[in-house]
Amino acid sequence: MNIDLSRRGFLKLAGAGVAATSLGAMGFDAAEAAEAAHVRAFKLATTTETRNICTYCSVACGIIMYSKGDLKAGEHAELIHIEGDADHPTNRGTLCPKGSALKDFVKSETRATQPRYRAAHSSEWQEITWDAAFDKMARALKDDRDQNFIEKNEKGQTVNRWLTTGFLAASGSTNETGWLTYKTVRSMGILAFDNQARV
Amino acid sequence: MTTELKPDPSVIGGVPVAPFALLPEPERLFAKRAARFAFLAQSSNLAPYLSFLGDLTQVQARLVPDLPPPALPDAARIEVARAARMPPIDRQAAIADPVLHETLDRLCAAAAAIDMPAPARQALEAVSLAPREDRDWLLGNVLTDTIPADSVAPHLFAAAAAQVHMARIAATLDVAQLVPIRTGICPCCGGRAATSSVIGLKELENVRYAACATCATQWNEVRIKCLCCGSTKGLSYRSAETAKATVKAETCDECQSWVKIFYTLTNPAIEPIADDVGSLGLDLMMKETAYRRGGFDPYLTGY
């Protein structure tokens, strides 16, 4: 270190010269050591705070989700709390009663976590795979479209309409998802289509 | 006669916008901080250090009303700073302000009455006797937020004087004139944050305010954002044993640093600087990790 003469004199007067922590340099080493011994028994717990958007409606309130446990360290992360995001311009930290109950929504025992199918005339739900669900939906859509697609109107003009099926999209989706939904649905000729983006 | 009804949607909800900054009120600030230090000292292994800092903070509080007025930034300087997104307080100019040197003089004189260990007293005496050149060096280091690792003790006293001086200047500023400078940088004096706190302000809850280690201004920062590099990616919170702690280390995987965050909403008594020292245990635990401390606090150098 390059210290000019006057400073070297000062450092000597100040008892300085060795790298030390504030407590060490000020002569509180014993307190520091006691605290170090005290915390040795503790382990660090990890919490994660994650920004998200409430899933309920198209107001799209910001939320902060707290989870316990470090996924990156291979631990199981468990949701412990959800609150309004005070930094979010839409809700400034507030939530409606439904939004306030979001944690119960996530933890609900009756929450649908995989596709289920109830056959016609049956009273029982049966769990099916996503592949089976998609196949079933595609089959139903294709059959309906083949049967009811209107290529030309009575004047003989091309209209390519499919009026017997409608599409309801999620209000919590992003603009990008909205765009993709529009492209997918409209290109099949569906006219009854709603993104629920108007509360 | 009919009354004309006009719709006023603003009364619905009525959630206020978080003020950008909360300026310090020096006398109250130091008195409150001193009381918090004294309270924390009642039940801590760090009691001797906390009591000492409590007494030193008491000295800071007592100095405030009697000091001559500091050199304040003029309107033109504030305007230029605003336009360039720079802090209105010129730290370089503050080093040369005779009032800051006067503050250091009075602080050293009053601090001599405090009970302290020999190394601390030796440093205090050296600062008291130091010629102008050495004091400029001390105050210069403190006001550039860089404390040399080999002379922590004398800088602690210089920092205490700088805190008084800068808080007095910051108190005179107009919040409406302040602009955000950069994440983690004080909009009044350009200093680094010591800690941040998630607080409640009347109708507004869970907003985060970073606390300047020097002028004690608290300014609004978006939550879940690293105060060192501004990243919003890879942040997590470490605390001793329980996930419900009121003090946590906000760690950032992008820049490998951490800054203390207090959940003041759960414990309104928390004070950004006093509790920073009071929670030294967390620093000691975080020292064992790969992250380095990003909060600046001249009372906690070397962690």
Residue of A nearest to B19 (CA): A87
Alpha carbon distance B130, A9 (integer Å) = 10
Q: Cβ of A152: how many Cβ atoms within 10 Å?
A: 11
Instruction: Provide mean pLDDT across the span A40-58.
Output: 91
Among A28, A21, A25, A33, CA closest to B48:
A28
Among B45, B90, B98, CA closest to B72:
B90
Among B239, B283, B247, B277, CA closest to B265:
B247
Contact B126, B159 (CB under 8 A): no
Q: Identify the structural domains of chain B with CATH numbers, from first to last.
A: 21-175 (3.90.1670.10), 185-300 (3.90.1670.10)
A14 vs B contacts (CB less than 8 Å):
122-123, 126-127, 151, 153-154
Domain residue spans of chain A: 5-39, 47-107, 149-194
Among A40, A53, A47, CA closest to A66:
A47
Residue that the structure tokens 């014993």 belong to:
A30
Q: To probe the interface with B, which of A3, A18, A23, A64 has the most B CB atoms within 10 Å?
A: A23
The total number of residues shown for chain B amounts to 303
Alpha carbon distance B88, A127 (integer Å) = 65
Residue A169, pLDDT > 70, answer: yes
* A45-64 residues touching B, CB cutoff 8 A: 45-51, 64
Supply B160's token pair. Answer: 């205490």
What's the pLDDT score for residue B38? 98
B199: contact with A, CB 8 A cutoff: no
Higher-pLDDT residue of B237, A196: B237
Q: What is the mean pLDDT of chain A?
A: 90
Residue A60, pLDDT > 80, answer: yes
Secondary structure element (H or E) that encloses residue B80, with its range: helix B75-83
Higher-pLDDT residue of B28, A8: B28
The single-letter code of the amino acid at A111 is R
B14: contact with A, CB 8 A cutoff: no
DSSP label at residue B204: E
What's the pLDDT score for residue A188? 95
pLDDT tens digits for A70-117? Answer: 887 788 889 999 999 999 988 889 999 999 999 999 999 998 899 999
DSSP label at residue B113: T
B243: contact with A, CB 8 A cutoff: yes
Phi, psi angles (nearest 5°) of residue B9 = -65, -15
User: What's the pTM value of the predicted model, to 2 decimals?
Assistant: 0.89
Contact A161, A189 (CB under 8 A): yes
B125: contact with A, CB 8 A cutoff: yes
Supply A182's token pair. Answer: 């529009």
Going through chain B in order, the beta strands assigned E by DSSP cover: 21-22, 193-201, 204-212, 218-221, 235-240, 247-252, 257-263, 292-293
Alpha carbon distance A171, A169 (integer Å) = 7
pLDDT tens digits for B27-49? Answer: 999 999 999 999 999 999 999 99
Which residues of chain B carry a pLDDT beneath 70? 1-2, 8-13
Span A47-107 CATH architecture: Single Sheet (2.20)
Among B161, B214, B208, B147, CA closest to B186:
B214
Cα of first residue to Cα of last residue in chain A, in angstroms, is 66
A14: contact with B, CB 8 A cutoff: yes
B287: contact with A, CB 8 A cutoff: no
Q: Among A19, A68, A86, whose Cβ lies nearest the Cβ of B150? A: A19
Alpha carbon distance B206, B184 (integer Å) = 18
Give me the DSSP letters along chain A. Answer: ----HHHHHHHHHTT--S---HHHHTT-HHHHHHHHHHHTT--EEEEEEEEEE-SSSTT--EEEEEEES-GGGTPPPEEEEEEE-TT-TTTTT---HHHHTHHHHHH-TT---S-EE--TT----EE--HHHHHHHHHHHHHHHHHHH-EEE-TTS-EEEEEEEEEEE--TT--HHHHHHHHHHHHHTTEEEEE-----
Residue A1, pLDDT > 50, answer: no
Nearest-neighbour CA in chain B from A115: distance (Å): 33
Among A58, A121, A122, CA closest to A90:
A58
Secondary structure element (H or E) that encloses residue B103, with its range: helix B98-111
Question: How many Cα atoms sit within 13 Å of A29 on the Cβ side?
Answer: 6
Alpha carbon distance B77, B172 (integer Å) = 14
A39: contact with B, CB 8 A cutoff: yes
What's the pLDDT score for residue B9? 63
DSSP label at residue B177: G
Alpha carbon distance B226, B83 (integer Å) = 26
pLDDT tens digits for A107-145? Answer: 999 988 999 999 999 999 999 999 999 999 999 999 999
A78: contact with B, CB 8 A cutoff: no
DSSP collapsed to 3 states, A5-22: HHHHHHHHHCCCCCCCCH
